[in-house]
Structure 1
Amino acid sequence: MTDMPIPLSDMSDDPAPGSDSNTQEPRLWRDDGWTARVIKNEDDEGWAVAMIMDGEPEPALVGPWTMGRDKKNPKPLDSAAFRTLVKTASEFLRRHEQQLHAMLHKNITVTAGSAQIGVTLDIIPDEDHPYALLSAHDEAGDQLAQVRVAPIFKLNAASAEAWIEDGFRKPG
């Protein structure tokens, strides 16, 4: 192998047709739906490792990689390192998905009269026409109302109570 940097754009991660999808090389490890590729860090003298989930065009995670004993070449990938990288990349993706879900789906419960009403705001991040759905559900989970609102609608106790008191009409 050479010390030439491998641009992320040149990292084709689909195995060649008919090839074994498991690869275990010093700078390339492919198994369990993941590919780890050790690359020259273009920002400094060191090395980085990119973790790519099969079928994805971009790495899920890119991080520093340890230098070898010669202080010039990267430490080779091995089974233990690969398992750790898969676990780290998977956790990173899961946290990202949880954060995205939390940003796009909000809910609150308010009291209206003697009833508890759950109000949800689900943002639909369409590239051309983003919007949100504001919904109300009774204690049994039955939908009481649903209206389309701007994706910037702020759901809080006051806005939920005002919507309910206004007969579930679309907020102005």
Structure 2
Amino acid sequence: MPEFTNHQLLLMRLRDDRCNKKAAELARKIGKDATYVSRLFYPIGKKGGKGVGLEIMTACTKAFDLPAGYWDGAVDLPANYKIDRDSHSNGHEPANESGVIQLPTQRVDRWTAEAMDILSKLNEAQRAACVVQLRAYAAAVGPPRDGQALSVADQKKGAA
């Protein structure tokens, strides 16, 4: 059985890396009582220990501007803060291979693949600008119909 929970290990990392290994400094930075915060570091099962709950996680996330996924252990942790994933069954066992139905993969045409490749190389603001342009284009040409020109320029050329 592990000595500390995953959340305790992540909180210990914050304490050690950003608070000079002092629980009192961590408590000051997150605006909580120092004795309460020190009890968050008690090993599992020790009398008087407290669990790291949503209130503490939220306070730490705000105080230290933590990245998304920090409390899920999605960020890289040093070896001494290694998180053990639960090994007990939670009722969500992988499906039996023989009972798995393979869904068909969606085929992507070359233009969609090229557009996805281009978009993947842009930052979020650039991707948003591209989507705005695509929406304007889609609104201008309307839904596809048999014989419809492929671009607005082709439509204007045909009208001239």
Query: Which TM-score applies when normalising by structure 1?
Result: 0.25
Question: Which structure shows the bigger proportion of residues in helix conformation?
Answer: 2
Tell which structure's C-alpha radius of gyration is larger: 2
Higher strand proportion (structure 1 or 2) = 1
